[in-house]
Amino acid sequence: MRQSDHRRMRVIGITGGVGSGKSALLAYIRENYRCKVLLADEVAHQMTEPGQPCYEKLTALLSPEILQEDGRIHKGRMAAEIFGSRERLEAVNDIIHPAVKEKILEEIRRAKEEGKLDFLFVEAALLIEDGYLDIVDEMWYIYTAKDVRWRRLKESRNYSDEKIKAIMESQLTDEAFRKYCSVVIDNNENMKTAMEQIDRRLGEYL
């Protein structure tokens, strides 16, 4: 079944604070719509594999100590090398983020040329900060109250209060997300009501 001629693929950015339920909602979208979902974290992981654009640069910046026995970059060792150094973190981000964005742009171009999808979703915590507003057709904010997110992170990921606080303080405020996102999906009650909001919105385009 091909995309009808009058309908072009819509590129939608999905963002929101940690613990807002982005992954679960994207799993639902992936199963129920003719779409592709690009997760920036997964793309970043691919970009740091041996032979990929970021591998040599990261190894040169942080030393071969970050490598595992099989030659791949060990995420824990890389995190340890960056820990406590804002300069090193920024240097790593300056290597990874442009490569991730270029790969995502490439995937969008390819999908548009093939013309088989109705939607392409891009998910990342830093979509707004990393300048994706001019790449996507619209930005969605998955809104979940702070206390709900806090509880979810303790239950599902076993994060400490200190870790949750640090992550939340490093992310955009609710006001900032709302300022830059044209669509707000409320994921406070339960997944079912959030899915209904998604179906309504995507249904307008189909």
**Each residue's pLDDT tens digit, 185-203:** 999 988 999 999 999 999 9
pLDDT tens-digit map of 134-193: 999 999 999 999 999 999 999 989 999 999 999 999 899 999 999 999 999 999 988 999
Q: What are phi and psi of 205, to 5 degrees?
A: -95, -10
- Are the C-beta atoms of 4 and 117 separated by less than 8 Å? no
Q: What are phi and psi of 49, to 5 degrees?
A: -75, 155
- Are the C-beta atoms of 21 and 144 separated by less than 8 Å? yes
Domain boundary among 115, 150, 165: 115
pLDDT tens-digit map of 90-139: 999 999 999 999 999 999 999 999 999 999 999 987 899 889 999 999 99
Q: Can you read off the two tokens belonging to residue 193?
A: 């009501």
Same domain, 125 and 184: yes
Looking at residue 115, its amino acid is G
Tally of domains within the chain? 2
| Whole-number pLDDT of residue 84 | 83
Domain boundary among 89, 115, 141: 115
Q: Any idea of the CA torsion for 90, 91, 97, 99, to the nearest 10 degrees?
A: 180
Same domain, 21 and 79: no
- In this predicted structure, the answer to whether residue 6 has a pLDDT above a threshold of 80 is no
pLDDT tens-digit map of 31-84: 999 999 999 999 999 999 999 989 999 999 999 999 999 999 999 999 998 988
Rounded Cα–Cα distance for residues 14 and 104 (Å)? 14
CATH at 17: 3.40.50.300
7 — pLDDT class (breaks 50, 70, 90)? low
Rounded Cα–Cα distance for residues 139 and 101 (Å)? 16
Rounded Cα–Cα distance for residues 4 and 9 (Å)? 10
Same domain, 20 and 69: no
Name the pTM for this structure.
0.89
| Whole-number pLDDT of residue 124 | 87
Same domain, 127 and 110: no
Same domain, 28 and 60: no
| Whole-number pLDDT of residue 1 | 34
| Whole-number pLDDT of residue 173 | 94
Same domain, 131 and 143: yes
- Domain residues for the domain of 169 are 1-34+117-206
Q: Specify the range with the lowest mean pLDDT, choosing from 13-17, 30-34, 85-89, 137-141.
A: 85-89
